[in-house]
């Protein structure tokens, strides 16, 4: 998964990091906002991240303050478990991405704001949404389909078909992988090593191996998009 009025500073870039931020409204007017605004979503500069963050803020407040039985029911019906995916795949794939597992204080909530803002400023709103959805959908299916097959083979109990699964973490992990491809080599590998190491630690802890494998897969999906995101950045 970071201005003052006056003369714009000179920027030296490599071919992999050719400037594209001037294509966004926020970057077109340097000096109008403090640098803090460059790492946070704005309605004009990063409409996808800003709008999505607003929705997540609402659902997070609902999860925190609404009746617990109502929240539990909403989470259960939004879950991308095998039972729901076999009945209403499109509905639950969308609904599951409207919640933050762990709430607004989750590390993935912070990662969502910083990573998707940075990615959207470089490749645009629709392409950022595409990367996020690719990681969310593919990693979800890749972790849930084996569960269904294992139940059919008798290796897992039928209760595994109703495993609670929701949240934005797969999409964020894919976005981290994609964004890393736009960094300079030293920063790229630092990000991948740091984030990947955290995911491996979670997998070793073995508290939720299916989700942990999904995070690593989503990160790999983001890395696989490097040729696309680099082309998109040059054309932005």
Q: List, as one string, the DSSP characters of 52-67.
A: HHHHHHHHHHHHHHS-
User: Worst-scoring range by mean pLDDT, 38-42, 70-74, 195-199, 227-231?
Assistant: 38-42
Q: Cα–Cα distances in Å, from 46 out to 99, 129, 234?
A: 20, 11, 18
Q: Which residue has the higher pLDDT, 25 or 169?
A: 169
| Local structure of residue 158 (DSSP, 8 states) | G
**pTM higher than 0.85 for the full model?**
no
Confidence of residue 22 (pLDDT cuts 50, 70, 90): very low
> 155: how many CB neighbours lie within 10 A of its CB?
11
What is the per-residue pLDDT across 44-54, written as a single tens digit (0 to 9) for each?
A: 999 999 999 99
Supply the pLDDT for residue 14. 44
pLDDT at 19 over 50: no
Kindly report the average pLDDT of the chain as a whole number: 87
The answer to whether 222 touches 175, Cβ cutoff 8 Å, is: yes
Please state, as a whole number, how many other Cβ atoms lie within 10 Å of the Cβ of residue 26: 18
Residue 26 CA, distance from chain mean position = 22
Per residue in 170-188, pLDDT tens?
999 999 999 999 999 999 9
pLDDT (average), residues 5-29: 42
pLDDT at 38: 79
Question: Quick one: residue 46, left, alpha or beta (phi over 0 = left, psi -120 to 50 = alpha)?
Answer: beta
User: Taking phi first (over 0 means left), then psi (-120 to 50 degrees means alpha), and beta for anything else, what does residue 81 get?
Assistant: beta
Q: To 5 degrees, how large is the angle CA 198–CA 78–CA 156? A: 70
Give DSSP secondary structure letters for 189-217: HHHHHHHHHHHHHHHHHTSSHHHHHHHHH
Of 103, 227, 100, nearest in space to 166 by CA = 100
**Longest distance between any two alpha carbons in the chain, whole Å:** 69
């Amino acid at each position: 998964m970071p201005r003052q009025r006056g003369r714009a500073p000179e920027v030296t870039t490599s071919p992999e990091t050719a400037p594209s931020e001037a294509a966004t409204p926020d970057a077109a007017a340097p000096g109008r906002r403090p640098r803090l605004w460059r790492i946070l979503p704005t309605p004009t500069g990063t409409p996808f991240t800003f709008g999505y963050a607003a929705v997540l803020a609402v659902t997070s407040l609902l999860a925190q303050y609404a009746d617990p039985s109502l929240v539990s029911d909403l989470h259960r019906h939004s879950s991308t478990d095998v039972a729901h995916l076999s009945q209403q795949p499109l509905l639950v794939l969308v609904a599951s991405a409207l919640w933050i597992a762990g709430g607004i204080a989750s590390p993935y909530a912070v990662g969502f704001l910083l990573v998707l803002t940075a990615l959207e400023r470089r490749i645009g709103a629709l392409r950022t949404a595409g990367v996020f959805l690719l990681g969310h959908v593919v990693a979800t299916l890749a972790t849930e389909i084996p569960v269904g097959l294992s139940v059919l083979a008798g290796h897992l109990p039928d209760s595994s078909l109703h495993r609670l699964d929701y949240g934005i973490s797969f999409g964020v992990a894919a976005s981290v992988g994609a964004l890393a491809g736009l960094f300079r080599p030293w920063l790229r590998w630092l990000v991948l090593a740091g984030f990947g190491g955290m995911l491996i630690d979670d997998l070793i802890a073995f508290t939720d191996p299916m989700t942990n494998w999904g995070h690593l897969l989503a990160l790999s999906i983001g890395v696989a998009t490097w040729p696309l995101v680099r082309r998109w950045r040059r054309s932005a």
